[in-house]
């Protein structure tokens, strides 16, 4: 069956360190993968999109990798700040009808 | 631009009551979506509308109906609410179906007693 897995346990890191979040998927062949940020009580906000033919994409302190062989995306936040504390969702194009399918999200806590 | 707006922000219903969740977008997007978010389950697609005049079922449509009133508005109706429909509901829009970025509203928190 199709599955998108993100670590359901919160990731706690110290300010200034690099946070790395993982998104694994099975039985999908997505043309692209997206990462969203969600703060408590708010809707998700789009951060980055990476296509299947791209290995890596960067935006300011954010970096995303996409390995279609491993069926995995890594999301990195360098020089993390307490303001980066949020839940991060990965989403990928499902196999049916171009719909986005979301992972359960990983909560990141950056401590000062 | 307000983006995607949703009303109400919070609602409590008794089992069997009905209600309509409202969503509007001012970005001239063609496609709109309704999701529910439950702890540990991620966002699950209830219904979507590829363009004005069309609606289709998503992953979890049972117990819901939708109306694409015009290009701006997409409403979600619960005809007979059940406790299993307690959730946070998000509306989203995108320029076209399968477009790469979806824009989300702030959500409606629904509690069914």
Mutate to test the interface with B, among A25, A43, A57, A95 (most CBs of B within 10 A): A43
Residue B99 has pLDDT above 70, yes or no: no
3 state DSSP class of B74: strand
Whether residue A112 lies within 8 A of chain B, CB to CB, comes out as no
Contacts of residue B37, Cβ cutoff 8 Å, sequence gap at least 6:
B43, B44, B87, B88, B89, B90, B107
pLDDT tens digits, one per residue of A31-66: 889 999 999 999 999 999 999 899 899 999 999 999
pLDDT tens digits, one per residue of B9-66: 999 999 999 999 999 999 999 999 999 999 877 899 999 999 999 999 999 999 999 9
Tell me the pLDDT band of A95, cut-offs 50, 70 and 90.
low
Residues of A in contact with B2 (CB under 8 A): none
């Amino acid at each position: 069956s199709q599955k998108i897995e993100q670590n359901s346990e919160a990731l706690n890191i110290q300010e200034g360190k690099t946070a790395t979040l993982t998104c694994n998927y099975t039985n999908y062949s997505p043309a692209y993968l997206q990462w969203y940020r969600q703060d408590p009580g708010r809707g998700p906000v789009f951060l980055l999109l990476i296509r299947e033919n791209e290995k890596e994409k960067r935006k300011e302190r954010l970096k995303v990798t996409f390995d279609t062989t491993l069926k995995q995306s890594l999301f990195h936040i360098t020089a993390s700040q307490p303001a980066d504390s949020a839940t991060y969702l990965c989403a990928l194009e499902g196999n049916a009808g171009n719909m986005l399918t979301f992972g359960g999200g990983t909560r990141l806590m950056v401590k000062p | 631009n307000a983006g995607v707006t949703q009303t109400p922000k919070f609602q409590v219903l008794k089992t069997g009551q009905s209600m309509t969740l409202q969503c509007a977008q001012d970005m001239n997007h063609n496609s709109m979506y309704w999701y529910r978010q439950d702890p540990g389950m991620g966002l699950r697609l209830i219904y979507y509308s590829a363009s004005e005049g069309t609606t289709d079922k998503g992953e979890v449509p049972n117990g819901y109906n939708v109306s694409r009133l015009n290009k701006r508005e997409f409403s979600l109706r619960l005809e007979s609410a059940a406790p299993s429909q307690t959730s946070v509901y998000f509306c989203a829009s995108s320029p076209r179906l399968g477009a790469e970025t979806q824009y989300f509203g702030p959500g409606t928190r629904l509690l069914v007693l």
